[in-house]
Each structure stands twice: as C-alpha cells, then as structure tokens.
A and B are shown apart, each in its own frame.
Chain A
C-alpha cells in the first residue's frame, strides 16, 4: 500500500539509536546491581539467573520460528534477554530451576508473543511472569534467604548449589524474612510497625542482623537482583544520562511512595511504615528505574509518564499497606500498564497552532 523505493521520502540522515543499542544499554545499567547480588547469593542464584535468561531466549526463538519471523535478527534486538534478566532479578535467589523456566513461559509466549511480539504487549512480560509465579507458587516465591556471599564460609559449594537449584534441596536455617515481609507479619500479630522495625534492625528472632546502611547498599535478604537500592540508582542515573529514560517515571514513583509513607506514618506510626523505609525496601528502586519505565507498557508523553508514575507509587503503597502481600510493585505496575492506552489518549501534547481541543488558536488582537 505504501509507495516503493523510487519515491522514498526523507530524511536521508538518521540518529545512531537502535532498538538493540537501547536494550543492551539497559542491560549494562542493570549489571552493577546484578553482579553484586550474584556475589551476595552465590552459585544457586547464578544458576537460576542463567536458566531464566536462557529459557526466555529459547522461548522467544521458538515463538518466532512458529510465527515465521526472522529468528536471529529479532533475537539480536536483545529484548528477550532483557525480559529474562529483569524476571530473574525479581525471583527468590535460591528458587529451583523450574521457576525460571515456567517464568519464561509466562513472560515470552503468553505476555509478549501472544500479543504480537516486541512493542505490542500491553503488560510488562517480566511482571506478568513474576505475578503468575507468585500466585501459583506462594511458598517457593517467598522463600528469601540471608546473604551467603560467594567464597564466604557460609556459602554453599558448587555441588550443594547444584542440589539447591536443580534438586530443590534448600538447607535449613538459611531463610530470612525481608523487611517488608517481617513488618507485615508482625503487624498481623498486633506488633506495632515502629517496634517491629527496631526488632528487624536488631535481628531479633532472625538469622541475620541488618542495619539501615545494609538496607540501602543491599546486604540483606531479597530478590535475586533488587536488594541494592544504591547500585540500582547508579544504573538508573546512567540510563538518564544516556537519555534512554527520563526522570518523569522514577521520580514520581519514588516521590509518591515516599510522600504516602511519610504522611500516614506521621498520622499513625504504629500502623504505617515510614516513607524512607518504603523507598529503600523491596523492589522500589528496581521498579521505579527499570520496570515502570519499560517503553512498551508505559505512556509515550512526558505528562502521561507523570500520571503513570504517580499511579505506580500510589498503588504500591496501597497494596503493601492494605493487601495480603508484603510487596506490591509488580501488581502496581501491571495495573498501571492496563491504564497506559487511556493515559496516552488523554495526555497528547497540544498541536502547534491549535487549542487543546484541536480547534485553530484564536487570533489575538490582530486584524
């Protein structure tokens, strides 16, 4: 339908941006946090990380082949690797191998390719997979472990690690609650938040004792790649500097969550956790910089991104505070994903020379 090569329109210049470059820049930005967490959780996490990404790439290749699309060209865009990478970062680090494989099945064929492949999916594939796994396998998906850095005395050896990832044999006494999970559980037993926070900080009834610095640097229990807010922040700032993402979504997600937390904490410190705790806990930084900013599933205009970010922050706080799950980032992102088309529709920029309604501007005081 659209004319051929002979009447090709310009421009005959092009920026050096490519989809591939974008994807691999995001992967590069994820690397510091990932490497730190792979070190922190040792061989089992490295195996799970590899299995998840491998499964995503294989799933993508199968889907592309079945759909008759160019397999190697499309695989080389890096989007399947990135999806697998992000999914792995949200999994419990010592989860068994089949969690990664099943996650890949949810993420690639169901959440991405069924919608038409790259750019067509309504929901963030990694988050669809994470949520599907969480509701299907709640025990496995909430089995957090205390840090066991590679080469440290407590780290499992290679053989033990293989048994953990591929045999599902997690030794006793290694699991640990996340801060969000601990506070939630204690609150349900009637312990006020301010008290459980102090207890968590002292390591009462826990196998390990974090302090506030550990919470920020990431030396703490948590998902495979999300524990270090600082390293994720560094990656996020790098993406902003490279103009892959803008400040709009991260700042609004973090800001809203902080404001809601602070406001309600001031009203009732026994019931509500403080804003700073919300911001440095769980998947907040990973979500704000790397997941909510997913191009495909977030609004295209800057104004739309502000609304989207506020929504993610707000819903994360609501789910963490009132719902049964201690962590709400994945749910919040998916809920806001479903609103992206309508946000896009209502946040189009004003056309040059026209009013917001699309009528030509009136001529002001000129004959």
Chain B
C-alpha cells in the first residue's frame, strides 16, 4: 500500500535479535503478586478487597472510578495478604497502594462473564462495557483505558482503525512475538474494535524488520477484505500514534487535536489481543507479554507474566544477570524509565525490562553544543532542540514554550543523535514540569485572588446590609422620641 513519509527519525541499534527468536514462555507462578491500584492513566481504581480475603483468578479486586479509570483483577487464585504501599514501577519510586496476593497454586478461575458468541451482532456499548469490565488499557505503554478510546466511535465518525505493530523501540520483541504466535487473536480483536468504533477499514502497521510478523498477520487478515497490512519503513519513532497515522493515512493530526478528529483511532496489537480474550473468552487482562532483554541479561526471553509479578521474578526466570547492569529500564531504551529497584511489579503497561550495560547506554558527560544541527534534522516533530535547550539553560521557559516545547513527544531521538551527548530530553522534561508547576501556581494565585475579592465583596455587602438594617431601626427610634 502507498505510505507517506514522516519527517526526520533515527536508526538506533535495534538489538532485537537478542530475544526475537525466543517464543513466548509463561512465567511460573511467583510466590507473591503485587497489584497496584494505579496501572493506567486516569483515576486510581477503588479497592474492593481487604487483607485475608480469598480471591479467584480473574476476580475484580479494584473497581474503576470516574470516567477515565480501569478495573484490576486478581491474576491468580489465592489470599490477599495485605494492602500496602510499595514503590511504583516509576523512576520517582514513590509508594502507591498495592494489593498483595499470596497464590494458592490452584490457579482457579472466578466465575467469568459469558463469552460474546457473535460480537458483530451486539451494540457497541456492550463491547465497550466488556472491555471496561476486563480492565483493558493501552498496552503499548501509554496505558490509556481502552474502553474510553473505543467510545470515541460515538463522538467522532471513525473510518480507520490503525493497529500499531510498529514496535519501533529497540530491544522490544513482545509485540513481534504476539503477532507471530497469536495473529488470529489480534486480527479478531481488531475486527471487534473496528465494529465497536464503526470503522469500516482496518490497517495493521508493522515495521519491515519483522517479516515473520508481517507474514503471520497477512495470513490471518486474508479472509477479511477490510483489513490491510502496511509494511512500514524501519525508522524510530514510527510507532508514535500521530506519526503512524501520518505514515499510513497521509493525515497530519493538528496540534491539540486527537487522531479521532481525523477519523482515525490507533490501538496496540497487544490491546487487540486482550480485547479478543475479553470478548470471546470472557477473560480479563491479568497477564501480558514482557520482553526481558539487554546486554547484561543472561538469557533474554519473551515472558507472559501475570500482572503483579515482580521484576526480580522475571529476571530470575531469565537466569539473572551475566554482568553487572548499568541500569534496569522498564520499557524500551528510548522512552523507557529507570526502575527504582527490582521489587516493583510488572503492570499492564510493562512492555520490556532491560538490563543494559554501560557500553549499550553509552552515556558520557555533556560537551558543548557545536550546533551540528543533527537534532533539528532528525526531529520528527519539526522542533529545533538546539534552540529549545539554549532557552531552557537560561531559564527562559516561555521562550522554549513559544518554540513548540509542548509539541515535543519526548521520543528521545535528539538526545540519541547528539554528538555532544547533551541530555536534551532531560531538559525538555524539566521545562515541561516547571511550566506545569508554574501554571498550577498561577491558577492557584488567581483562584486565591478571586476568593479574596469575592470575600471582600461579600463583607462589603454584609456591611451594607447591616447599615441598611440599622437605618430603619434608627428612624422608628426618632419617631418614638417624637411620640
């Protein structure tokens, strides 16, 4: 099919060969599962269990609250040991409420919702509800609740569902393996989602460096004339939602709009498979495929791990480290985050766990910028990182904002390419955070000012009322005197 060029982009060392040929293996049941209440974008789920409760596999243990939230389920049967705070799989390492389950080893299913025999005969709301009840979130890493994104079909006229199998992050092979091993489930999930969205057309986008995945999806999609498979050029950040949309449809999403405004919704391949399982089998999202890789990992693997398994469980299953890793990253090396420790759990957005050596990271102290312009030429968003960084270094955050700081998707290409090893993304993240904080502060000040003014006005009004109340009193008094 005809593809459209995207600006810039880089070709990092992919190193997908470390784990690409390893078939997905199931992780043996760990001794403890740690299921955080917040594994998604939006409000944390409301807890439904307490210490001592017995739970079954697939049972809802935390319920979504608010319009953007997600259910969470027990990944196996067992006993809730405690509800405690443990560090989240996030670089801040801040603790968050987490349900700790001790598996009983029986792996006994709870009563699951009935499979929907013919999902194409039911109303979209039924599928949406099932996806929400199953706790499905965007599994490419964004973790946006999938049901909310399927609801876009009500507000917008959607003509194309894009299934994102680009997997442009180096090292990661979990989507590649899923496509090779579960192509039918992915295609079925995609068809169910397209039905829910009212989208007549489905395009599965896969980078050309995954020929077997391309072949498997092409075979699985063959019976369905409305599904196309796009072999995407290998270029990071091809998997970015907006860039994928541009490459496949030629449509450029305007700033501050959604791809849905263009009639396009993008879902990840793993999300499509999760939808298939939820709808066809009634199974909630309780496990995901994680690529465990990196130069310091003894035996890189693709592991289907229950949500809540600790990172250390996965690393042990891969034979531990072959050498001391410089950093342990969650996600890919480009946009992933360093883990605070190995006791954090695998959550719904964990696509990879990478133990990287110093050589692989190739981090050095920053040298002065020589204005080579590489960052400008590779930026897929058309930014001038060299200028943004100069503004931020001089604490001129507004200047950086004017140059389009908010349009940066933090893909990391500029930092990757910089010969002076200037941590550009680090600058941008700092500036975005500081600007947000400043905005919040300003709103707070304005709100305080409004409140103070409102209070002053009220006091004035009350004083006026009191004065008005006194006057009539004074008048009769005078009358009395007269009388």
Contacts and interface: CB of A to CB of B under 8 A. Distances in A.
Interface centre among B263, B334, B338 (most CB of A within 10 A): B338
B336 A15 contact: no
Nearest to A243: B374
A13 interface: yes
A3 B362 contact: no
A242 interface: no
Interface in B399-422: 402-404, 407, 410, 412, 415-421
Given A9-B429, A15-B12, A21-B419, A352 B364 contact: no
B263 A366 contact: yes
A361 B7 contact: no
Given A13-B362, A118-B370, A301-B373, A353 B252 contact: yes
Contacts of B106: none
Contacts of A188: none
A323 interface: no
Given A19-B419, A22-B419, A350-B382, A11 B335 contact: yes
Contacts of B418: 17
Interface of B is mostly: loop
B461 interface: no
Given A3-B426, A118-B368, A353-B242, A13 B170 contact: yes
B262 A363 contact: yes
B333 A11 contact: yes
A1 B415 contact: no
Contacts of A298: 371
Contacts of A366: 157, 261-263
Nearest to B10: A15
Contacts of B377: 301-302
A168 B403 CA distance: 55
B209 to A, nearest CB: 16
B92 A7 contact: yes
A152 B420 CA distance: 46
Given A1-B395, A3-B430, A11-B333, A361 B425 contact: no
Interface in A1-27: 1-3, 6-19, 21-22
B252 A361 contact: yes
A13 B380 contact: no
B255 A353 contact: yes
B382 A349 contact: yes
Interface string A283-308: 00000000000011111111001000
Main secondary structure of the interface of A (DSSP, over half): loop
Contact of B367 (A77, A302, A349, A361): A77
A117 interface: yes
A171 interface: no
B368 to A, nearest CB: 4
A358 to B, nearest CB: 7
Nearest to B328: A12
Interface string A339-365: 000001000111111100010111100
A300 B417 CA distance: 14
B119 interface: no
B104 to A, nearest CB: 38
Which among B335, B368, B381, B421 has the highest number of chain A CB atoms within 10 Å?
Answer: B368
Interface string B110-122: 0000000000000
A295 B255 contact: no
Contacts of A16: 362
Contacts of B384: 300-301, 344, 348-349
A18 B368 CA distance: 11
B7 A10 contact: no
B137 interface: no
Contacts of B156: 367
Given A119-B369, A301-B376, A349 B7 contact: yes
Nearest to A79: B370
A8 B242 contact: no
Contacts of B371: 119, 295-298, 300
Given A118-B368, A295-B370, A300-B376, A13 B338 contact: no
A12 B361 contact: yes
A117 B368 contact: yes
A204 interface: no
B425 A9 contact: yes
A63 to B, nearest CB: 14
Q: Which 9 A-B pairs have the closest CB atoms?
A: A11-B412, A300-B373, A361-B254, A17-B419, A349-B382, A13-B333, A353-B255, A360-B255, A14-B362
29 contacts: A2-B392, A2-B426, A8-B423, A9-B410, A9-B425, A10-B337, A10-B415, A10-B425, A13-B12, A14-B364, A14-B416, A14-B421, A15-B417, A118-B368, A119-B370, A295-B370, A295-B373, A298-B371, A300-B386, A348-B382, A349-B383, A349-B384, A352-B242, A352-B407, A354-B382, A354-B407, A358-B402, A366-B261, A366-B262
Given A15-B417, A363-B254, 10 more contacts: A1-B430, A9-B426, A118-B368, A118-B370, A296-B371, A351-B255, A352-B382, A353-B254, A354-B255, A360-B257
Interface of A: 1-3, 6-19, 21-22, 77, 79, 117-120, 295-302, 305, 344, 348-354, 358, 360-363, 366-367
